[in-house]
Amino acid sequence: QITLKESGPILVKPTQTLTLTCSFSGFSLRTRGVGVGWIRQPPGKALEWLALIYWDDDKRYSPSLRSRLTITKDISKNQVVLTMTNMDPVDTATYYCVYRSNYYDSSGTLDYWGQGILVTVSS
């Protein structure tokens, strides 16, 4: 059974750096093709892809947010960490951790999602 769970601060101040951790089970990030990533959703708005990291340490970032994002993995802990710098109130959103089973697939499917964590940016 694959599960993912997000953790981190629920309130950050403008200009601060956000650090979110995804703790997962039921699969290994050593497995060829596997990736873990982050999606966010501002209240009442659409989903937005942020970043993905794959088994071979290949990292992909949203072009519009690339300069602010860093994604890393700790295979020994079954965790993936996302940092986002210079937070702004417009970054207020639910942040989801996602599992991608096959880098080589033809559709970009995000197979499993965590429950999400609502992060509010406010002074």
Binding site for other proteins (CB under 8 A): 37, 39, 46-49, 52, 58, 60-63, 96, 103, 105-111, 113-116
Closer of 25 and 115 to other proteins (Cβ): 115
Is residue 63 within 8 Å of residue 49, measured between CB atoms?
Answer: no
| In the complex, minimum distance from the CB of residue 35 to other proteins, in angstroms, rounded to a whole number | 9
Pick the closest to residue 69 from 84, 59, 58, 79 (CA basis): 84
Which residue lies nearer to other proteins by CB, 27 or 61?
A: 61
CB contact burial 45-78 (16+ within 10 A = b; e otherwise): eeeebbbbbbbeeebbbbeebeebbbbebeeeeb
Comparison of 16 and 69: residue with beta carbon closer to other proteins: 69
Query: Long-range contacts of range 104-107, CB-CB < 8 Å, 24 or more positions apart?
Result: 104/33
For the CB of residue 123, give the shortest distance to other proteins in the complex, in Å.
Answer: 27
Closest to other proteins by CB, 14 vs 58, is: 58
- Asked whether the beta carbons of 37 and 48 are under 8 A apart, the reply is no
User: Min. distance of Cβ 16 from other proteins in angstroms?
Assistant: 26
Q: What's the min distance (Å) between Cβ of 14 and other proteins?
A: 26
